[in-house]
Amino acid sequence: MRRGKYVTVIGSSAPLSSKALELSYELGKELAGRGFILVCGGRGGVMEAAAKGAKEAGGTTIGILPGVSREEANPYIDIAIPTGLGQARNQVNVVAGDVVIVVEGQAGTLSEIGLALAHGKPVIALKGSGGVADLLAGKTIGKYRVLEASSVKEAVKKAVKISEGNVTSFK
């Protein structure tokens, strides 16, 4: 039995801008408000801001951690899952979500996007947040399209449609 709708939010652990943090926080709030369980890497930056927004909206948060200790999770993570996998935990992170939303991002985020697409997971890039999200929004990689959203509300609306099985245009 499937329980809940899961969205993985990915982005920089050390964001390049305060805008990315604000968008991440707003994204977390919107996702929780729509009943999504938020999955992320569980640490700082975009992950912490999204988890904070989700928690403040009454949502549930899961952190897929690179190390072996739950103590490395940010304070807004409800369920901390230490993996001991380092960057390889990126695969677990993106596979756990029904859809992946990208805010900003650097090299680690780029690897998560590639892994998500390789697993056939829909990816939505929040255009205007900077980093790899801006670079890949609307681009086709192989047979998959990185969906573009120009606002948090649009990203969440697309995530809702995808989770309900109403979008297949990412292929």
pLDDT grade for 16, boundaries at 50, 70 and 90: confident
Domain that holds residue 26: 5-163
pLDDT for res 14: 87
pLDDT for res 1: 36
Instruction: Please report, for the domain that includes residue 39, its CATH number.
Output: 3.40.50.450
pLDDT 10s digits, 90-117:
999 999 999 999 999 999 999 999 999 9
> Comparing 89 with 170, which gets the higher pLDDT?
89
pLDDT for res 170: 61
Does residue 19 lie within any of the structural domains? yes
Helices and strands counted in the chain (H then E): 6, 9
pLDDT for res 168: 54
**Residue 163 has which token pair?**
């989770």
Mean of per-residue pLDDT scores for the chain = 94
Q: Which residue has the tokens 């994204």?
A: 27
Which amino acid belongs to residue 100?
V
Does residue 24 lie within any of the structural domains? yes
Q: Are 32 and 63 in contact (CB under 8 A)?
A: no
Does residue 170 lie within any of the structural domains? no
pLDDT 10s digits, 73-91:
999 999 999 999 999 999 9
Q: Which residue has the tokens 């590639």?
A: 114
Does residue 171 lie within any of the structural domains? no
- Fill in the DSSP letter of residue 55: H
For 44, list phi and psi in degrees, rounded to 5: -90, -165
Does residue 168 lie within any of the structural domains? no
Does residue 132 lie within any of the structural domains? yes
Q: Are 52 and 42 in contact (CB under 8 A)?
A: no
Domain count, the chain: 1
Does residue 76 lie within any of the structural domains? yes
Round to the nearest angstrom and report the end-to-end CA distance of the chain. 26
